Amino acid sequence: MSEILTFSEKAKSRLKEIMSSENHKKYLGLRISVESGGCAGMTYKMDYIQNKIGGDENINIDGIDVFIDPKAIMYLLGTKMDYKEDKFASSFVFNNPNETEKCGCGESFKI
């Protein structure tokens, strides 16, 4: 079985940088989920959490706790999270081999 979610070195580095800042030390970690929305049907959602939510899958990334919503696991299997920067923006990007369609702005996807 493939891993639920893996992280590029850039994504790991940026997660560590964010979570070690004074503003984020109060959080337990980051929670990743998938919800309905966007023009292609589904969107990735990332939230800071202070308490673990029952049933979440916990992945420790170089000391940072990342929690996966159990309802999102089937949509995320084999996905690699990356961090991209260009002149105008920076963001986490999900490279999901299960996607069959992605909207033009890259904010939503279809499985």
Per-position DSSP letters for 18-85, written without gaps between them = HHTSGGGTT--EEEEEEEE-STTSEEEEEEEESSPPTT-EEEEETTEEEEE-TTTHHHHTTEEEEEEE
Domains of the chain: 5-110 (2.60.300.12)
pLDDT per position as a tens digit, 80-102: 999 999 888 888 988 888 776 66
Residue 31 buriedness (CB in 10 A; 0-12 / 13-18 / 19+): buried
| Residue entry with tokens 């963001």 | 91
Distance CA 52, CA 109 (A): 27
DSSP helix/strand/coil, 110: strand
Note down pLDDT in tens along the chain; length 111 residues: 458 899 999 999 999 999 988 888 889 999 999 888 666 577 889 999 999 899 999 999 889 999 999 999 988 999 999 999 988 888 898 888 877 666 555 565 556
User: What is the enclosing helix (H) or strand (E) of 11?
Assistant: helix 9-19
